[in-house]
């Protein structure tokens, strides 16, 4: 198995757009209508939106490429790029998605641990993320990494609004496990 962690550039926007739509549909398609997904994709995953996000110096985007195929991706934010500003000096894992065809091979763990390593290289005090309140598999996964719930926020998909739990862990507690800056 040849696994590569590749930084996404503006040359990769079409590929990012495709995997973003595919993984979101696979993960949440059962909970949303086609019209809701299309409306969400037209804003969150438009070429313009994704280009702005990739160009934002406070965001980082990476592909997980397995044997030459893009299998997943990761989006990280700091500062004003974060989707919430509830924690001071924080590092957000905004998106971590793996295509269903590649799940069960440790790619989610690989991407998440890469995110945690990158958080440890910053001066941030917290690493945090949002997880859908109905995504029990992901909640169990994050609990294994000792992430604790500290709040919630609303996540709109078209006219429907879901609830995400906000989970956090201090970067200091991660540094022994994933490396220090």
Domain of residue 22 covers 3-178
- Determine contact, residues 165/133, Cβ cutoff 8 Å: yes
For the record, the structure tokens of 35 come out as 């019209």
Q: Which of 73, 97, 142, 145 is catalytic?
A: 142
Q: What is the pLDDT of residue 179?
A: 63
Ranges of beta strands (E only) in 42-83 are 59-66, 69-78
> Mind listing the pLDDT tens digit for each residue in 16-25?
999 999 999 9
Please say whether the beta carbons of 75 and 115 come within 8 A.
no
Per the structure block, which two tokens stand in for 41?
Answer: 């994709």
- pLDDT (0 to 100) of residue 160: 87
Active site (annotated) includes residue 142: yes
Q: Note whether 109 and 148 are within 8 A (CB).
A: no
Number of domain units in the chain: 1
Convert the pLDDT of each residue in 40-86 to its tens digit.
Answer: 999 999 999 999 999 999 999 999 999 999 999 999 999 999 999 98
CATH number, position 83: 3.40.630.30
Question: How many other C-beta atoms can be found within 10 angstroms of the C-beta atom of residue 93?
Answer: 24
């Amino acid at each position: 198995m040849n696994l590569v962690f590749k930084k996404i550039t503006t040359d990769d926007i079409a590929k990012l757009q495709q995997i973003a739509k595919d993984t979101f549909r696979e993960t949440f398609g059962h909970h949303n209508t086609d019209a809701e997904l299309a409306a969400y994709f037209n804003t969150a995953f438009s070429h313009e939106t994704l280009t702005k996000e990739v160009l934002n110096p406070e965001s980082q985007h990476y592909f997980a490429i397995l044997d030459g195929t893009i299998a997943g991706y990761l989006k990280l934010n700091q500062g004003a790029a974060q989707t919430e500003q509830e924690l001071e000096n924080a590092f957000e894992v905004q998106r971590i998605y793996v295509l269903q065809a590649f799940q069960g091979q440790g790619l989610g763990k690989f991407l998440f641990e890469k995110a945690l390593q990158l958080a440890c290289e910053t001066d941030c005090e917290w690493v945090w993320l949002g997880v859908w309140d109905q995504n029990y598999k992901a909640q169990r996964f994050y609990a294994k990494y000792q992430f604790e719930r500290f709040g919630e926020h609303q996540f709109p998909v078209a006219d429907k609004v879901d609830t995400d739990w906000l989970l956090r862990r201090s970067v200091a507690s991660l540094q022994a496990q994933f490396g220090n800056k």
